Amino acid sequence: MKELLSGNAAIARGAYEFGVTVAAAYPGTPSTEILENLVLYPGVYAEWAPNEKVAMEVGIGASLGGARALVAMKHVGVNVAADPLMTFSYTGVNAGFVLVSTDDPGMHSSQNEQDNRHYARFAKMPLLEPSDSQEAKDMVGLALDLSERFDTPVMLRTTTRVSHSQSLVEIQEPQPRKLKNYLKDIKKNLMLPTYARPRRVALEKSLTGLKEYSEESPVNRIEWRDRSLGVITSGISYQYVRDVLPNASVLKLGFTNPLPEQLIRSFAAGVQKLIVVEELEPFIEEQVRAMGLALAAEGFIPYTGELDPGILAAALINAGIITSREGIAQNGYNLEEAPPVPARPPVLCPGCSHRGVFYALRRLKLNVSGDIGCYTLGGLPPLEAMDSNICMGASIGVAHGIGKANPALDARTVAVIGDSTFLHSGITGLLDVVYNKGHATVIILDNRTTAMTGHQHHPGTGRTLAGEQAPAVNMEALVRVLGVNRVRVIDPLNLAETEAAIAEELAASEPSVIIADKPCALLTKATRPAVRVQAEKCTGCRICTRIGCPAISIKDKRALVDAAVCTGCNLCLQVCREGALVKGEEKHA
Identity at 536, one-letter amino acid code: E
* 391 annotated ligand-binding residue: no
Consecutive H or E run containing 434? helix 427-435
User: What is the phi-psi region of residue 73: left when phi exceeds 0, alpha when psi lies from -120 to 50, beta otherwise?
Assistant: beta
In Å, how far are 113, 270, 390 from 398, measured between CA atoms? 21, 55, 9
* 566 annotated ligand-binding residue: yes
Q: Name 284's bridge partners.
A: none
* 576 annotated ligand-binding residue: yes
Q: Is it true that the peptide bond before 50 is cis, omega within 30 degrees of 0?
A: no
Q: Name 279's bridge partners.
A: none
324 burial (CB, 10 Å; 0-12 / 13-18 / 19+) is exposed
Q: Are 203 and 123 in contact (CB under 8 A)?
A: no
In Å, how far are 116, 127, 518 from 210, measured between CA atoms? 19, 10, 52
Cα(174)–Cα(198) distance, rounded to whole angstroms? 37
Q: Are 427 and 453 in contact (CB under 8 A)?
A: no
Q: Are 367 and 350 in contact (CB under 8 A)?
A: no
Cα(83)–Cα(88) distance, rounded to whole angstroms? 9
Percentages (nearest 5) of helix, strand, coil residues in the chain:
40, 20, 40
Q: Buried b vs exposed e over 176-189: b needs ≥16 C-beta within 10 Å? A: eeeebeeeeeeebb
406 burial (CB, 10 Å; 0-12 / 13-18 / 19+) is exposed
* 569 annotated ligand-binding residue: yes
CA 294 to chain centre: 36
* 541 annotated ligand-binding residue: yes
Among 544, 538, 577, 543, smallest CA distance to 558 is for 538
In Å, how far are 136, 359, 530 from 588, measured between CA atoms? 51, 27, 7
DSSP state of 181: P
Q: Buried b vs exposed e over 35-61: b needs ≥16 C-beta within 10 Å? A: bbbbbebeebbbbbbbbbbbbbbbbbe
Alpha helices in 319-351, H assignment, sequence order: 326-330
Cα(142)–Cα(154) distance, rounded to whole angstroms? 9
How many beta carbons lie within 10 A of that of residue 209, not counting itself?
14
Compute the Cα dihedral for 9, 14, 20, 25 and give only its sign: negative
Compute the Cα dihedral for 10, 176, 141, 242 and give only its sign: negative
* 349 annotated ligand-binding residue: no
Under DSSP, is residue 19 helix (H, G, I), strand (E, B) or coil?
Answer: coil
Identity at 270, one-letter amino acid code: G
Under DSSP, is residue 221 helix (H, G, I), strand (E, B) or coil?
Answer: strand
Q: Residues annotated as binding site for [4Fe-4S] cluster?
A: 538, 541, 544, 549, 566, 569, 572, 576
Binding positions: 538, 541, 544, 549, 566, 569, 572, 576
